[in-house]
Amino acid sequence: MEPAPTLSVVVVTYESAAFLPALAASLRPELEALPGGSEVVVVDNASRDDSARVAREVFPGATVLVNGRNAGYGSAANRGWAVTRAPRVLVMNPDVVVQPGALATLLRASASFPEAAVIAPRLLNTDGSLQPSCRRFYTPATVLLQRTALGRLGLGKRAVRRHLMGDLDLSRPHQVDWVTGAVMLVHRGAVPEAGPFDPRFFLYFEDVDLCYRVRREGWITLYVPEAAMTHHHGRRSRAPSPWNADLRHHLVSYGRFLAKWGASPGV
């Protein structure tokens, strides 16, 4: 049997054709530099654009899986996970650009911290500014504050800043509560064989749920800012109405999180 590669990469796409060439171009030299080889799996969530075709073009030799319907990010990532073989799997969005040396840095951190189930890089906005990617666990208040104008005022602003770990020196590594699912290096031994994510979370909270679950089982989540990546969609606009679609999705997923675990760990 062929030995497992050093790293597997799972990319979940949904109408992402425009972003895939930049991701592939940034990943290619990073993967070629890894000893032991690598593999790439792209899972397309029933895109209406040319995401699957473009993925086959820009990731030659990759496995490209196409879902018949949009199954949600976590479910699609699990499908890709199921055909990977490496002990460490990088699960990522398609709108990411990998900075030089980032993959090697994440893998060195994984070797140095074998207790880390999830390791995440520093994320940057396209203008080079820091994109908050490590968080404290939600409270009912921070779910509302982060998604509404209340989070930009007075006490709400301070609460959101603390939720986003703005009180820490994010130029240094930290053990954190959870990291956003835009990019995660996941230790295969820390998650079920079926994959890292609970498919009941269609949108939002699949990353919170993963980090909370592994923490309960004695693993840690690690933020490693020496590894940097640019995340194109980090600065989405927030609708002024408190009842925008983002908030509704967040509340539904938060309700599922509470139903699953019975309490809010951030309280």
Q: Each residue of 153-188: pLDDT tens digit?
A: 777 778 888 888 888 898 999 999 999 999 999 999
CATH of the domain at 31: 3.90.550.10
> Is 147 a member of any domain?
no
pLDDT at position 139: 84
pLDDT at position 194: 92
> Is 249 a member of any domain?
no
> Is 265 a member of any domain?
no
In three-state form (DSSP H/G/I as H, E/B as E, the rest C), the secondary structure along the chain is: CCCCCCEEEEEEECCCCCCHHHHHHHHHHHHHCCCCCEEEEEEECCCCCCHHHHHHHHCCCCEEEECCCCCCHHHHHHHHHCCCCCCEEEEECCCEEECCCHHHHHHHHHHHCCCEEEEEEEEECCCCCEECCEECCCCHHHHHHHHCHHHHCHHHHHHHHHHCCCCCCCCCCEEECEECCCEEEEEHHHCCCCCCCCCCCCCCCHHHHHHHHHHHCCCEEEEEEEEEEEEHHHCCCCCCCCCCHHHHHHHHHHHHHHHHHCCCCCC
Domain holding 28, by residue range, is 7-134+166-236
The total of structural domains in the chain comes to 1
> Is 56 a member of any domain?
yes
pLDDT at position 161: 85
> Is 244 a member of any domain?
no
> Is 225 a member of any domain?
yes
> Is 44 a member of any domain?
yes
**Ranges in the chain, pLDDT < 50:** 234-242
pLDDT at position 151: 63
